[in-house]
Chains A and B, each alone.
Chain A
Amino acid sequence: MNAMTPEYSDDDFAGSLRNAFDDQPIPPKPLDRDVLAKVTASTCEPETPRPFAWNGHSRFSQMAALIPVVAASLVLVVAFWRTETPTASNEAVERPKNAVAQQPIQSEIPKQNPVSQLPDGPNLLQDKVIDAEISTVHDKSVAKPDPQTPQQNQESKPTPENQEKIETNRIQFQFLSAKTAFASLTNYALSIDQLKNGPFKDVRFELDERTNSIVFHSPYSKTIEIGMQLGRLDVEAALDIIDDTTVPSTLMSAVRLTNACVALKRWDAIKLTDAFQPYLSNERNATLRAFQSLGLPKGVKSLRLGPGKRRQWLSSPETVAYTYIVDFPDLLTDMKRFVDALLGEEIFDDMLDGIRDDPAGPQIDIREVAKSMDFELVLVAKQSREGNRKDSTMFAMSLKQSAPVAQALERVMAVEPDSAKQSIGGTNIYIIQRGDEPAKATCIAGDCLVIGDANLVRESILRFDKR
């Protein structure tokens, strides 16, 4: 752990401050009688009770606007955490000697959810992998791949011209039978149509027979895609690639959380940390507590690679898209646990009430809005080719009813000082530009609420308009 990170709780901190104020009360002196006779102009008016104050820059307003996005972030977390219950045959296989003892997965109260009965999306190596370890390190000396000559990338060597132009991960998956896994992986990579623009674009992988492992070289965003594809792997030990310190492997959930945090941070899709920064600061413990509180959300399941036929306009050859099945009311419950644990107080409901009741705010009921959400969520990502700039991302959530969501969106944007309305074809888009940050955009197109980086949203709406 980072030595500079405070490891004490808020209560410890406040208690320490209080200790400094411990005193022996000094008996008060009697009031001067002449003072009582004075008439002063000042009167102390108690502050009028008011729920959460709304202003356009309020973090609560940002959280309200970001709730669908935060919900989508959970999809990423889940996608990265997915684990497979070992089959009977798998359990019979002896574990490698260097494998860390597996801890039981901490899950919240199990819920019956019809979503869980739906089939899985693509699940690479599901039947081949028995156990695995992942270690992740910075590797800046890998040559930047040339998109025009993908075949040559396999043998490309770093040169002074192309070295360190792209920051990559070196991920080592260790298998009991790496040869089998490698064959399966190769077949998969060769078979899928999306080879050029799919999950293995810009990714090199190689078999290391000595360590019985497969090594991936990939950009950060691709790391997460690999994580999704290999989502059934039960990751038992990992290195924190942020500060290169080891997370104790006994903390199973912590390892998962670290991976998820790293994924979210590098993916940078939902700016989760930014949205919650005033409340959680950079405290790792708070983040861990929050993610631990999630357990494994039941309301999310991978559906397919790609946006689906009806929503082809959401993606292009330059983007990668995944579709998930989401139960939004369930996800809202998960979010409550997440936010309450993150802040260490049960304030999520109060926040929602404040957003609903504050006369200066948009006065929308997030719980009601969630009921208008349908069950499909499409994640679209476009990799940046400019050095280490983050990738562009966008989410599209299918709607059962567009009108209530459109109304809520309009209200949120009406009190958002940094928003501007534009029109592309017949679609109104709200562009949000805060300072120097990349512009965000949101709109309702067809039966989808679209939210994400402005460039991606604009491109999608142009395609939507030309259908």
Chain B
Amino acid sequence: MTDMDSLVTEHADAVWRTVNRVLENQDDARECYQQTFLDAFQMDRDGVRNWRSVLCQIAFRRSMDCLRRRYRDRDKLPQMAVALGEDLPPDKRLIQAEVRASVRRVLVTLPVAQAEAFWLRHIQQLSTNEVAIQMKLRPGHVRVLIHRAIRTLRNELGSQYEFASQTGNTK
């Protein structure tokens, strides 16, 4: 049996980072953070070999659920209380916040597997093989999912990306 306290201690950072990045709102992030561990503790824990993967997967999906609720109830859109990239000039921070909001808006429209594969590969910067292990899919399938996600993101955000690139946010 896995010890709950050690699980939380060991993986809290990864879970928090995931929900925080996806949601960018302290209250929502905290709710999903707690919900992730609640979900995990209800699972059959004997069969779990990689708790970090499982917890991050649950965290991401909980966060996406939360995002969907957020976009469904647009009048209740929270203020983005978490200031990412605080070392940047204000104008770039604004642009980045806009990009993040746009990415979230598109991600919630994607099939969850596509969104998750994209997120893990390109935002969390895991390797394709690591994503495949985490998602319990074959690497080839993961690549297809990521490719599809990027197609959609490019279609939806292409013009916004052009704007961002002119302002120096590209690689």
Which of A's residues lie within 8 Å of B, judged by CB?
Answer: 6, 8, 10, 12-32, 35-36, 38-40, 42-44, 46-47, 49, 51-52, 278-279, 281, 343-347, 349-351, 353-354
Residues of A within 8 A of B57 (CB): 44, 46
Asked if B49 is at the interface (CB within 8 A of a chain A CB), the reply is no
Report whether A25 and B16 are in contact in the complex, using a CB–CB cutoff of 8 Å. yes
Report whether B122 and A14 are in contact in the complex, using a CB–CB cutoff of 8 Å. yes
| CA–CA, A18 and B121, complex, Å | 10
Of the candidates A6, A36, A281, the one whose C-beta lies within 8 Å of that of B162 is A6
| CA–CA, A52 and B123, complex, Å | 24
Interface residue SS majority, chain B: helix
Question: Which chain B residue lies CB-closest to A24?
Answer: B86
Of the candidates A13, A281, A350, the one whose C-beta lies within 8 Å of that of B144 is A350
B111 to chain A, nearest CB (A): 10
Asked if B77 is at the interface (CB within 8 A of a chain A CB), the reply is no
Asked if B138 is at the interface (CB within 8 A of a chain A CB), the reply is yes
Question: Which chain B residue lies CB-closest to A277?
Answer: B151
Report whether B30 and A29 are in contact in the complex, using a CB–CB cutoff of 8 Å. yes
Residues of A within 8 A of B136 (CB): 46-47, 49
Residues of B within 8 A of A52 (CB): 141, 144
Question: Which chain A residue lies CB-closest to B30?
Answer: A29
Instruction: Jot down 21 A-B pairs with beta carbons below 8 A, ordered by A.
Output: A8-B170, A12-B171, A16-B161, A16-B170, A18-B125, A19-B96, A19-B171, A20-B97, A23-B20, A27-B16, A40-B42, A44-B43, A47-B136, A49-B136, A279-B147, A346-B140, A346-B143, A347-B143, A347-B147, A350-B138, A351-B144
Known: A19-B96, A21-B123, A44-B58. A10 touches B12 (CB 8 A): no
Report whether A36 and B4 are in contact in the complex, using a CB–CB cutoff of 8 Å. yes
Residues of B within 8 A of A6 (CB): 154, 158, 161-162
Q: For chain B residues 71-111, which have a beta carbon within 8 Å of chain A? A: 82, 84-87, 95-97, 99-100, 103
Report whether B82 and A26 are in contact in the complex, using a CB–CB cutoff of 8 Å. yes
**Number of residues of chain B lying within 8 A (CB) of chain A:** 66
Known: A40-B38, A350-B141. A22 touches B113 (CB 8 A): no
| CA–CA, A346 and B151, complex, Å | 17
Residues of B within 8 A of A47 (CB): 112-113, 135-137
Which of B's residues lie within 8 Å of A, judged by CB?
Answer: 4, 8, 12-13, 15-17, 20-21, 30, 33-35, 37-39, 41-43, 54, 57-58, 61-62, 82, 84-87, 95-97, 99-100, 103, 112-113, 118, 121-123, 125, 135-138, 140-141, 143-144, 147-148, 150-151, 153-155, 157-158, 161-162, 164-165, 169-171
| CA–CA, A75 and B116, complex, Å | 39
| CA–CA, A351 and B147, complex, Å | 13
Report whether B34 and A32 are in contact in the complex, using a CB–CB cutoff of 8 Å. yes
Residues of A within 8 A of B135 (CB): 46-47, 49
Question: Which chain A residue lies CB-closest to B20?
Answer: A26
Report whether A28 and B169 are in contact in the complex, using a CB–CB cutoff of 8 Å. no
Of the candidates B17, B37, B62, the one whose C-beta lies within 8 Å of that of A36 is B37
Report whether B85 and A16 are in contact in the complex, using a CB–CB cutoff of 8 Å. no
B113 to chain A, nearest CB (A): 6
Report whether A16 and B162 are in contact in the complex, using a CB–CB cutoff of 8 Å. no
Report whether A10 and B140 are in contact in the complex, using a CB–CB cutoff of 8 Å. no
Report whether B147 and A345 are in contact in the complex, using a CB–CB cutoff of 8 Å. yes
Report whether B113 and A10 are in contact in the complex, using a CB–CB cutoff of 8 Å. no
B78 to chain A, nearest CB (A): 16
Report whether A39 and B42 are in contact in the complex, using a CB–CB cutoff of 8 Å. yes
B50 to chain A, nearest CB (A): 11
Question: Which chain B residue lies CB-closest to A39?
Answer: B42
Known: A15-B171, A31-B8. A25 touches B147 (CB 8 A): no
A43 to chain B, nearest CB (A): 6
Of the candidates B21, B95, B121, B138, the one whose C-beta lies within 8 Å of that of A49 is B138
| CA–CA, A24 and B57, complex, Å | 21
- Beyond the given A27-B16, A346-B140, could you list 14 further A-B residue pairs with CB under 8 A, ordered by the A residue number? A13-B154, A16-B99, A16-B161, A17-B122, A18-B123, A20-B103, A21-B21, A23-B85, A42-B39, A47-B113, A279-B148, A347-B147, A350-B138, A350-B144
A17 to chain B, nearest CB (A): 6
Considering the complex of A and B, which 3 residue pairs feature the smallest CB-CB distances, nearest first? A350-B140, A28-B16, A14-B122
Of the candidates A14, A21, A278, the one whose C-beta lies within 8 Å of that of B148 is A278
Report whether A8 and B4 are in contact in the complex, using a CB–CB cutoff of 8 Å. no
Known: A15-B171, A40-B42. A10 touches B154 (CB 8 A): yes
Report whether B151 and A281 are in contact in the complex, using a CB–CB cutoff of 8 Å. yes
| CA–CA, A36 and B165, complex, Å | 45
| CA–CA, A346 and B128, complex, Å | 12
A52 to chain B, nearest CB (A): 7
Residues of A within 8 A of B170 (CB): 8, 12, 15-16
A149 to chain B, nearest CB (A): 49
B154 to chain A, nearest CB (A): 6
| CA–CA, A52 and B145, complex, Å | 10
Residues of B within 8 A of A35 (CB): 34, 37-38
Question: Which chain A residue lies CB-closest to B100?
Answer: A20
| CA–CA, A346 and B100, complex, Å | 29
Residues of A within 8 A of B125 (CB): 18
Question: Which chain B residue lies CB-closest to A35?
Answer: B34
Question: Which chain B residue lies CB-closest to A48?
Answer: B136
